[in-house]
Structure 1
Amino acid sequence: MTRKPFIAVNAHEVLQRHGLDSMDALWALQLEAVDAPNTGRGGWSSVHRLELDDANGTSQHFYLKRQDNHCTRTMHRPLGEPTFAREFRAIQQYAREGIPALEAAFFAERRVDGRAQAVLLTRALDEYAPLDEWFERWDRLAVADIRMLIRSAAALVRALHNADRIHNCLYPKHVFLKLHTDGAGARFIDLEKTRRALFGERDRIRDLETLHRRSAEPSRSQRLRFVLAYMGKTRLDNEARDFVRRLLQRSAGKGARA
């Protein structure tokens, strides 16, 4: 059984033009996978790049994600559901709350012979690069560009936390940034594990510690600049010192358990 799919208004014409406005059509597409399929959770999950010309001859770029019995179980869904279903709901929630993130173009799920299947099509963020790729050229970037990227990343995480949410897997590869003439833009990807900040600041510290621990390139002063931008401060005061202390304490604890 297949439920009625979600199709974004700005994607309907190009998908219909290519006969790809159904789950069956997108499921049947023969494409080369971007990475090796994930075969965990008792099924498989794959990601493919899809480029389609619209009526004006402009190429629109997407990532097509497909899953077969690649499920997660929660208290609310003890029998399990595709992880892309969780990500699709999160994408919609982020959009409603004004948190910049990837955009969904199509989503559908179904059960076939007892197996849960899902298709999620998202817009490619071709103008952006993940933070870990920016780190690869960190020492070649202009100081002004580094500061702009730090402020942009800090504002993105602050917007998320102000909405009482955490990413819950805040690695540099999940923070996409771009530089442009008016500053920098930022978006989150990979929202499968995002959730409410049930434990308040402890959860927010946990999110930030993950990003801190996984980011090898920034100097101590650059990391401090990030924290101050995140907190909306221009200088290190007692509140900021206490926040940094708690962040470093959690990082030291994680290092001791590693």
Structure 2
Amino acid sequence: MPDTRAPAGNTPPDDFDGWWNAPGDWFEEPNVRRAGWSGMVTCRYGDTLYFIKKQSNHLCRSLRHPFGIPTTSREFANIQRLQALGIIVPAPVFHGSRQTADGHLGLLVTRELEGFRAIADGGDLTAEEKRQLAIAVGSTIGRLHRAGLQHSCLYDKHVMVHWQDGKPEIALIDLEKLRRPYLPWRAARHDLDQLRRHQAVWNADDWDTLLAAHAAALGS
């Protein structure tokens, strides 16, 4: 696990250089891709844990951005999209990019989803809790798909849950690849099939419950 002890000063930065150089250990070691890399550092200021995604020449291209923008910029925009839909996501604290001699740098800082854990860690749930979780997850991703969006990386480690008064609240993370497909109906098929293959929480009956909740949210 990374070292998340509070750095000296205990006050979070408010600019690009401050966050880029914030002390901390790698939570996700840099992933080298083509001419660039991307990784994540954790750092604690006061009582708050921050996730700092740093990139160099880790770009995505589109008709709007033919020369590319950092994928941190796309993820920041996706966070804002889901916030507008009322879906819980990591709260953004700082976002920025800059051109340097070393390349195109991207930076995205988010606050820890306190009290949430991945549904992948939900093996200790009762049968009723698994049923409630299936309904909550199905409803959440149904709202996502109703908006014509596809998560594209919907594994059980990217779906988070917080139990509040015995009821599950759902959050989605790792939104870098979220997109609006050309054929919206494919979004649900892709994400649901991906989650089904990458989860070990629910049995067949639970999965049917999730699909029913998803269909209800999709049609509401």
TM-score by length of 1: 0.75
Unaligned runs of 5+ in 2: 1-8
Alignment-mate amino acid for residue 199 of structure 2: S
Does residue 17 of structure 2 align to residue 24 of structure 1?
yes
Which ranges of structure 1 fall in alignment gaps of 5 or more residues? 1-15, 54-58, 234-258
Distance 1:21 1:148, change over 3 A: same
User: Is this contact kept in 1: 2:149–2:184, CA < 8 A?
Assistant: no
Q: 97-106 or 145-154, which moves further after superposition? A: 97-106
Counterpart of 1:103?
A: 91
CA apart distance, 1:41: 3.4
Shift in alpha-carbon separation, 1:202–1:27, aligned structure 2, 3 A: closer
The structure whose residues are more often strand, as a share, is: 2
2:177 corresponds to which residue?
193
Letter in 1 for 2:62: T
Which one of the candidate residues 202, 209, 216 is aligned to 2:200? Answer: 216
Alignment length (residue pairs) = 209
The alpha carbon displacement at 1:217 in A equals 4.0
Alignment of 1:121-136 (within 5 A): 121-134=109-122
Q: Which has the higher contact order (CA 8 A, sep 6+)?
A: 2
1:179 lines up with 2:172 in the alignment:
no
Runs of at least 4 residues off by over 3 Å: none
Distance 2:105 2:209 in 1: 44
Letter in 2 for 1:24: D
Q: Which residue of 2 aligns with 1:249?
A: none
* Equivalent residue, structure 1, for 2:130: 146
Please say which structure displays the higher CA radius of gyration.
1
1:46-125 alignment runs, 5 A limit: 46-53=39-46, 59-113=47-101, 115-125=103-113
CA RMSD of aligned residues (A): 2.0
| Alpha-carbon offset, residue 61 of structure 1 | 1.8
Deviation of 1:26 after TM superposition, in Å, equals 1.2
CA shift digits 1:56-109 (9 cap, x unpaired): xxx122111111112122232222211111100111121123232221111111
